[in-house]
Amino acid sequence: MKQLRYQASLAVLIVLIIVTVGVQGWTVALSVLTVGLISGVMALGLNIQWGYAGQFNAGVMGFSAIGAIACVLVSMPWVTATMQNGLETLSQAPDGYEQTISMLKHDIPRRLTAEKNIGIAWLLGAASAIAAWALNRTLRHRVRTIWRVILVLVVLIIGLALFRGRFDSAIRIIESTGYGDNSKYLGGMQLPILFAWFIGGCLAAIAAWMIGKIALGLRSDYLAIATLGISEIVIALLKNEGWLTRGVLNVTGLPSPVPAVKALQVAPYSLDVKTSLIVNKLAFLGLVVMLTVLFLWLAHRAWHSPWGRMMRAIRDNEEAAAAMGKDVVFRHRQVFIFGSFFLGVGGAMLATLVLQFEPAGYQPLRFTFLIWVMVIVGGSGNNIGSIVGGLLIWFLWVQAEPAASWLFYVLGTIVLPENSALAGTLLERAPQMRTLVMGLVLLIVLRFAPGGLLPESLQRRLK
């Protein structure tokens, strides 16, 4: 029965891809497959948290966004360096660019000073935080609590005043200057994008450690509320800190780890437009497949290791595990960090695929609810089920709208009277069919397959 489920799932996915190729072409099929696998990686990270340890993480969106911003901070060029290069280029042939050259000569020194002030501001802030912490520890048993609190607050207020004094004026300069399309923010270090994926996972893991110190002591639904709130805070910061993320202006032109479509159309490749597009998508898909296989192997090893058995024991009965001497909170923090690393890498891959970072595009419906549906439909506690769920649910999410549009068009032209108001209303409602289809799929799976299409299977050794 178990093997039949795996074979049936693989057969369904193959049929869906073949149908997509026949109806919509190779380009659409490869795009759906690539995003489905990336979503599967994110579902795998969530499955590690929920399936391994029973942690209700409702902040998937925040970890994905943290992974994506790493692509900006690591792989985009430093804006000031771009301005300096632009000034050198324009100075060689200044005719017609006198105003731009004058602006760059005026703005570059201001940006350099502003960047220096931002660094000094953060050093002052960090120093005041360390000083407040040290003062609190030193006076813990020497003075009354009220006086210790007042002294710590005084140190923090002084540090905040020093921080804001340099930081606020500096970011106004950063957000008002630049050169080219991606300006008005600091930029990045122009390192390889694959390195940015790893850094994105690490940043998400660090954020998970910080959140875990605060929220992992909470139970199920309280943890979900905490992670959801923290996720919204992360998105709000990314939208409003324009000096760092360019805010709602978006960052476009993220580098790709594979040759661009235009690069494939010139020597030495010299491919036509259609072929270059397919080759570009195939190359990116191959890279995603390799990472997916690597992550599946890591998750499989973790699941079948003594650590994985310990995590399942903690998930099933925390009190009994604690009575056996297991540090439940520490192990919960471990698995939360482990899963968040996958979520961060998935978010970085998704931003690289679309070649832009768009903070306003991070919505809970797409980056939290949909990932949860993938885990539930694929099978909680089953690593391969997470990938299958990611592919299947993403296919249904993408194809629900065009399928509904076609169906409503047929109803409007064949069944309903000509120029029917109902036909027009149905066509307008086609995009909402995505949410309806996801709800129906979730209800059907929970009713007829509560464990998912590929439920968790526990191997029991009989002696």
Q: Do 230 and 172 lie in a common domain?
A: no
Q: Do 298 and 414 lie in a common domain?
A: yes
- Owner of token pair 């606020």: 168
Q: Do 83 and 165 lie in a common domain?
A: yes
Mean pLDDT by 10 residues, the chain (463 residues): 83 92 92 95 94 90 95 93 90 87 92 94 95 91 89 94 94 87 85 96 94 77 86 92 88 92 88 91 95 95 89 87 87 92 96 93 91 94 93 94 87 75 81 90 91 78 46
Q: Do 365 and 294 lie in a common domain?
A: yes
Predicted pLDDT of residue 463: 44
Measured CA angle at 226 (ends 220, 228), to 5 deg: 100
The residue among 126, 161, 187 that closes a domain is 187
**pTM metric for this prediction:** 0.92
User: Is 379 contained in some domain?
Assistant: yes
Measured CA angle at 336 (ends 330, 339), to 5 deg: 140
C-alpha 24: how far from chain center: 28
Q: How many domains does the chain have?
A: 2
User: Is 151 contained in some domain?
Assistant: yes
For residues 84 and 58, what is the distance between their CA atoms, to the nearest angstrom?
Answer: 44
SS3 state of residue 63? helix
Q: How does DSSP classify residue 269?
A: T
For residues 278 and 276, what is the distance between their CA atoms, to the nearest angstrom?
Answer: 5
Task: Tell the burial category of 254 from Cβ atoms under 10 Å away from its Cβ (0-12, 13-18, 19+).
Answer: buried
Q: Do 238 and 255 lie in a common domain?
A: yes
Q: Do 64 and 204 lie in a common domain?
A: yes
Written as six digits, the tokens of 257 are 């780890």
For residues 312 and 321, what is the distance between their CA atoms, to the nearest angstrom?
Answer: 10
Q: Phi and psi dihedrals of 453, rounded to 5?
A: -65, -40
Predicted pLDDT of residue 182: 67
SS3 state of residue 366? helix
Predicted pLDDT of residue 37: 96
User: Is 247 contained in some domain?
Assistant: yes
User: Is 328 contained in some domain?
Assistant: yes
User: Is 418 contained in some domain?
Assistant: yes
Q: Do 384 and 333 lie in a common domain?
A: yes
Which of 281, 292, 289, 221 has its CA nearest to residue 42? 292
SS3 state of residue 342? helix
User: Is 46 contained in some domain?
Assistant: yes
Q: Do 179 and 194 lie in a common domain?
A: no
For residues 26 and 21, what is the distance between their CA atoms, to the nearest angstrom?
Answer: 5
The residue among 122, 152, 187 that closes a domain is 187
Number of other residues whose CB lies within 10 A of the CB of residue 259: 16
Per the structure, the complete domain to which residue 142 belongs is given by 79-187
Residue 57's region, left for phi above 0, alpha for psi from -120 to 50, else beta, is beta
Written as six digits, the tokens of 237 are 């910061």
Question: Residues 6 or more apart from 194 whose CB is under 8 A from it?
Answer: 257
Which of 179, 189, 177 has its CA nearest to residue 72? 189
Question: Residues 6 or more apart from 216 whose CB is under 8 A from it?
Answer: 55, 223, 329, 332, 333, 336
Q: Do 235 and 109 lie in a common domain?
A: no
Q: Do 315 and 251 lie in a common domain?
A: yes
The answer to whether the beta carbons of residues 233 and 103 sit under 8 Å apart is no
User: Is 461 contained in some domain?
Assistant: no
Question: Residues 6 or more apart from 288 whose CB is under 8 A from it?
Answer: 34, 37, 38, 41, 349
The residue among 136, 158, 187 that closes a domain is 187
Beta strand extents in 352-447 (DSSP E only): 356-357
CATH number at residue 210: 1.10.3470
Q: Do 346 and 211 lie in a common domain?
A: yes
Q: Do 193 and 171 lie in a common domain?
A: no
User: Is 454 contained in some domain?
Assistant: no
